Amino acid sequence: MPHLNVQIREEDLDGQTEPKLIRALTEAVASVLGGWAYAAAVMDLFGIPQHRWGAGGTPGAARAPIVTLHMRERGLAAPGRAGTPALLIGAITDAVCAALREGVRKHVTVLIVGIPAGRSGVGGEPV
C-alpha cells in the first residue's frame, strides 16, 4: 500500500488546497503504479507553521512541501517497470505543482522509502 506523508507549510493549507493535493498525489501514484493504487493510497498532510520551517539555515525560506512515499520495496522494482522510482518522483512533483503552483517546482522534495518484505505489519502480523 503506498503511503504518502506530506509536510507542507500550514499557511498553504486553506481548506481548498488539501483536497486538490490529495487528489493530485493519488492520481500521480496511480498513473505510475496502476489503477489498484487509487483505493490503496493513504495520505497524511502535516501542516508546519512558518516559524518551524527552514532551508539553508533560514527559517521560513522554502515554501515547497516534502513528500515521502513509503511502499513495498518489490513494488519499486517490479519486472517490466524499469525506472519506477524516477517515474514516481516526476509524477509526484508534477502533482504538487498542479495543486499548489508551478513556482514551487525547484523546491519540491520527494523521498521514496522502499520497505523490505517482513519489515511492516498489519494487525500485529508481519507482511
Residue-wise pLDDT for 27-68, tens only, equals: 999 999 999 899 999 999 999 988 888 777 877 766 789 999
Q: Which domain holds residue 51?
A: 9-62+76-126
pLDDT-derived band at 78, boundaries 50, 70, 90: low
Does pTM surpass 0.95? Answer: no
CATH code of the domain in which 95 resides: 3.30.429
pLDDT at 113 over 70: yes
Mean of the pLDDT values across residues 4-25? Answer: 94
Assigned domain for 69 exists: no
H/E element holding 45? Answer: strand 42-48
| 3-state DSSP assignment of residue 7 | strand
In a domain, 1, yes or no: no
Give me the number of domains the chain comprises.
Answer: 1
